[in-house]
Amino acid sequence: MSRSIISQPCPHLLLRGARVVDPGAGIDQTLDVLIEDGVIKQVAPQIPAPDNFEMINAAGLVLTPGWFDLHVHFREPGREDEETVLTGCAAALAGGFTGVCPMPNTSPATDKAEIVKSIIAQSRQTMVDVHPIAAATKGREGKEPTEIAELVDAGAVAFSDDGCSVRTAELVRRVMEYAGMYQKPLIEHAEDESLCLKGAMNEGVIATKLGLSGLPTIAEDIIVARDVLIAEYTGGRLHIAHISSKGAIELVRRAKAAGVQVTCEVTPHHFSLSHEAVIGFETNTKMNPPLRSPADVEAVIAGLQDGTIDAIATDHAPHSSEEKNVEYPAAPFGVIGLETAMGLIISRLVLTKKLSLSQAVAKVTVAPRRILNLPPAEIKAGQTANLTVFSIEKKWVVDKTKFYSKSRNTPFDGWQLAGKVFGVYHKGQWWASPDF
Amino acid sequence: MIVSKHLLGLAGVRREEISLILQTAQFFKEVLSRPIPKVPTLRGKTVVNLFFENSTRTRISFELAEKRLSADSVSFSASGSSVAKGETLLDTVRNLEAMKIDMIVIRHHASGAPHFLATMIDAGVINAGDGRHEHPTQALLDMMTLLDKFGTLEGLKVAIIGDVAHSRVARSNIHGLRAMGAKVALCGPATLLPRAPREAFGNDIEIFTNVDDAIRWADALNVLRLQLERQASGLLPSIREYANYFGVTRRRLEAAKRDVVIMHPGPINRGVELESDLADSEFSVILDQVTNGVAVRMAVLYLKSGGDLEVANGAA
């Protein structure tokens, strides 16, 4: 049973004394933020509290633009037992996210305008902005492109056959050209399926020890190489989802240096865990792309540091415990991530000084919106207030029984993390986390 | 000495524990040669043999071991995946456990299936082969056979020949033999060798892709069964080519050490990985392996259910 979000309308609010970090505006200082009718009226040191305004003391807390996750799976339509748009939005908000992009590998696939509209309509009753990503090909079958123009009109912000790669180079080219007319990227799940038959984990030393079939890094690298070349040729926009291999990161690095319009994202599990976590056959370590070698994890960190990796996205992939509570090769790929992302980003990247707080925040605020051509959520007067407030110091222990998501498939249960959501302001409403 | 009630594999199992199992197996082998080859050691204990994959010799070997120890045992065979049958492995085993059993012997096509069970239930779990991961009792009986022949495993050179990548027998043998001080070589076509074998198993592992080199190097050859469907999956150009280039033949054995032994976990594809004549030759210890299998499984069942060697000897 998942938990419910209880937010309250709060048109007039003074958030006092927070460390305001807005990487887009280059702000990192202690400020007050005054909100009137859901719009930021003033950002300044020590604003006097007007009458009839709620006031929240945010001293010691960090205030950033609302976090944005450009890669989630909400399972609606088709598998509402695992997650719905509403429970997914609750999990997003509990994790500090005010915007999310559900992937189209639902059942049926999100390949028609009506499905895009229905997902957006579902989300209107929540505090979270939902921007669906539509399938690149009809039924995600890799045969014909979807009706891209119609899907854009319905609200799709990008195109992807996530769960697998767009099957042929020809289709990648056509989708990139067509979606390019609307400045929408192709988001590619980079995996050459012919190299991955029956694979259950990263191919390498641990797979050899465990006797599990491998998913080799070259399967990822080959598709990234193919698509980068097509993006260069067509001038289209390519975004690589959940990048995980050292080779793929290097390919993106070189392509960016050559001026190709390519961006990429990484998940918190790919910078927090290596394939060594699979020892013991815990199925919550089974994801696609798989947890890679320690050398790949190092490359991910380096890619985050030098900007090769633009964004952090959770690839929140809910699965029922019945599906995950099986022998390793039989378990589905994927783990949930919306409610642990902030803790992992702060604990594994910021507190370890691998990234500055501003760099880390940029990866979940400025970068994903820019990749999708969405307007930024800036902290300045005149902007709609879209804010995440959190502590980077508060320690907490991940307890999967307390998740707002319908599913519980996390490899981080029991981990002690720092970095906890205090509250979220969006759509004129304030939600205060009851777990802070 | 025996620290876990489970035998999930030989990875990480210490030399002392393997030695104890092999010594105990020698004792039970003596029991098996008596007019009434049976002891009351596991009387009152219930063992379930859970075979999700076809198996004849391993299942019968376990069943015999259980009967020789006077355990109550039942066997369950289900071909194919438990999931495909509509019931999960966990549900199957929870039902069995509700019937108050003491041990489960499991063979399953999924690597890690016994490990999964061991985290879920109270009964002891003995791995009778999981996917391409481990087959610990097979490796123990292989080691027992080598000990019978050579007297020690220390410094012994054992070449494992064939489809190492997909072999649970190979993995358990590598771990067990290295723990006991033997030297291990892996030999096969590159498509059937696992990735990063030295990083996975130890830098001292020898790798050969020429079977003549492996034969010249070895004191013992452990020839693996070739799954004939490997050709269909593109890992081999043809079975004929495999037999010609990687099959162990009498002609090839001319370059071997004089007292070389040939092992095979069975069943043999005669004329593919092993020349038919050789399987029945003076070099072959294949039937000794089968005999030792019962003794080893008796030892494992006995020790994992809390027994120790002194008591076993006393009971004799």
A238, β-bridge pairs: A186, A262
Q: What is the DSSP string of A285-330?
A: G--SSPP--HHHHHHHHHHHHHTSS-EE---B----HHHHSS-GGG
Contact B112 A329 (CB under 8 A): yes
Instruction: Mention every residue, 6+ apart, whose C-beta is less than 8 A from residue B29.
Output: B291, B292, B295
Distance CA A378, CA A374 (A): 12
Residues in chain B closer than 8 A to A327 (CB atoms): 89, 108, 110, 112-113, 116
| pLDDT for the residue numbered B82 | 52
Nearest to A208 among B110, B112, B195 (CB): B195
pLDDT of B143 reads 98
Q: What is the mean pLDDT of residues B182-198?
A: 97
pLDDT over 90 at B208, yes or no: yes
Distance from CA of A34 to the nearest CA of B (A): 53
Check B112 against A212: CB less than 8 A apart.
yes
CB contact under 8 A, A327 and B201: no
Nearest chain A Cα to B134, which residue?
A211
Whole-angstrom distance, CA of residue A5 vs CA of residue A123: 13
* Chain B residue numbers touching A292 (CB-CB < 8 A): none
Give the chain B residue whose CA is nearest to the CA of A203.
Answer: B195
B313 has pLDDT over 70? no
A63-82 confidence digits (pLDDT tens): 999 999 999 999 999 999 99
Task: Point out the residue among A200, A205, A280 whose CB comes nearest to the CB of B200.
Answer: A205
Contact B201 A214 (CB under 8 A): no
Q: Is A196 on the interface with B (CB under 8 A)?
A: no
- Report, as an integer, the average pLDDT of B203-227: 98
Name the phi and psi angles at A396, rounded to 5.
-150, 160
Task: Look at phi and psi of residue A426 and say left if phi exceeds 0, alpha if psi is from -120 to 50, else beta.
Answer: beta
**Per the CB < 8 Å rule, is A208 touching B196?**
yes
Q: What's the one-letter identity of residue A325?
A: N
Radius of gyration of chain B (CA): 19
Our CA-based measurement puts residue B152 at a distance from the nearest CA of chain A, in whole angstroms, of 26
pLDDT digits (tens, 9 = 90+) for A296-346: 999 999 999 999 999 999 999 999 999 999 999 999 999 999 999 999 999
Q: Pick from A206, A209, A211: which is nearest to B168 by CB?
A: A211
Identify which of A265, A294, A268 has the alpha carbon closest to the alpha carbon of residue A202: A294
Determine, for residues B116 and A210 on separate chains, whether the beta-carbon distance falls below 8 Å.
no
Residue A100 confidence (pLDDT) = 98
Distance CA B234, CA A252 (A): 32
Tell me what the mean pLDDT of segment B101-121 comes to: 94
Q: Decide if A323 touches B, using CB distance below 8 A.
A: no
CA B261 to chain centre: 17
pLDDT for residue A76: 95
- Which chain A residues touch B134 with a CB distance below 8 Å? 211
Percent share of chain A, pLDDT over 70 = 100
Cβ distance B110 to A322 less than 8 Å, yes or no, reads no
- Residue B205, pLDDT above cutoff 60: yes
- pLDDT interval class at B312 (50, 70, 90): low
CA-to-CA dists, residue A46 to A13, A19, A42, B85, B300, angstroms:
14, 12, 11, 67, 74
Answer for the pair B5, B124: CB distance below 8 angstroms, yes or no. Answer: yes
Instruction: Pick the residue from chain B with its C-alpha nearest to A206.
Output: B200
Interchain pair A327, B113: CB under 8 A: yes
The pLDDT score that the predictor gives to residue B316 is 46
Question: For the residues A77-104, what does the mean pLDDT come to?
Answer: 97
How much of chain B exceeds pLDDT 70, in percent?
A: 95
Mutate one of B90, B109, B116, B169 to test the A interface: name it (highest A CB count within 10 A).
B116
Q: Is A211's CB within 8 Å of B110's CB?
A: no
User: What confidence tens digit (pLDDT) does each residue in A187-235 have?
Assistant: 999 999 999 988 999 999 999 999 999 999 999 999 999 999 999 999 9
pLDDT tier for residue B24 given thresholds of 50, 70 and 90: very high
Q: Which of A332-336, A426-430, B96-100, B133-137 has the lowest mean pLDDT?
A: B96-100
Residue of B nearest to A278 (CA): B112
CB contact under 8 A, B168 and A328: no
Helix (H) or strand (E) segment spanning residue B304: helix B286-304
**Beta carbons of A204 and B195 less than 8 Å apart:** yes
Mean pLDDT, chain A, rounded, equals 97
Q: Which of B109, B115, B194 is opposite residue A281, by nearest beta carbon?
A: B115
Per DSSP, the three-state class of B217 is helix
Q: What percent of chain A has pLDDT over 90?
A: 98
Q: With beta carbons under 8 A apart, name residues in chain A contacting B131.
A: 211-212, 329
Is there a catalytic annotation at residue A315? yes
Q: Give me the pLDDT at residue B310, please.
A: 66
**Residues in B lying within 8 Å of A, measured between beta carbons:** 11, 81, 83, 88-90, 108-113, 115-116, 130-134, 168, 171, 194-197, 199-201
Say how many Å lie between the first and final Cα of chain B, rounded: 21
In the predicted model, is pLDDT for residue B60 greater than 50? yes
Distance CA B272, CA B229 (A): 13
> Which has the closest alpha carbon to B142: B255, B238, B18?
B18
Interval A148-166 mean pLDDT: 98
In order, the DSSP letters of A202-241 are ESSHHHHHHTPPEE-HHHHHHHHHHHHHHHHHH---EEES
Which of A204, A322, A330 is facing B110, going by the closest CB pair? A330
B116/A327 touch (CB, cutoff 8 Å), yes or no? yes
Residues of chain A contacting B115 with CB distance shorter than 8 Å: 280-281
Give the mean pLDDT of chain B.
93
By Cβ distance, the residue of B11, B83, B168 closest to A326 is: B83
Q: Read off φ and ψ for residue B36, nearest 5 degrees.
A: -115, 95
Residues within 8 A of B (CB atoms), A 9-68 only: none
Question: B6 — phi, psi (to 5°)?
Answer: -100, 155
A215 touches chain B (CB under 8 A): no
pLDDT at B95 over 90: no
Mutation to test the B interface, candidates A209, A276, A279, most B Cβ within 10 Å: A209
A185 touches chain B (CB under 8 A): no
Contact flag A329-B201 (C-beta cutoff 8 Å) = no
Chain B residues whose beta carbon lies within 8 Å of the beta carbon of residue A214:
195
CA distance A157 to A101: 8
A325 and B90 in contact by Cβ < 8 A?
yes
The reply to whether residue A329 touches residue B111, judged by beta carbons under 8 angstroms, is yes
- Give A248→chain B minimum CA distance, Å: 20
Is A381 within 8 Å of chain B by CB? Answer: no
Interface contact A211-B195, CB threshold 8 A: no
- pLDDT value at residue B101: 93
Backbone phi, then psi, for A230, in 5-degree steps?
-70, -40
Residues of A in contact with B168 (CB under 8 A): 211
pLDDT digits (tens, 9 = 90+) for A374-391: 999 999 999 999 999 999
pLDDT score of A84: 97
> pLDDT, tens digit, for every residue of A130-148?
999 999 999 999 999 999 9
Exactly one of A81, A296, A315, A399 is catalytic; which is it?
A315
pLDDT higher than 50, residue A408: yes
At B137, give phi and psi (nearest 5°).
-70, -30
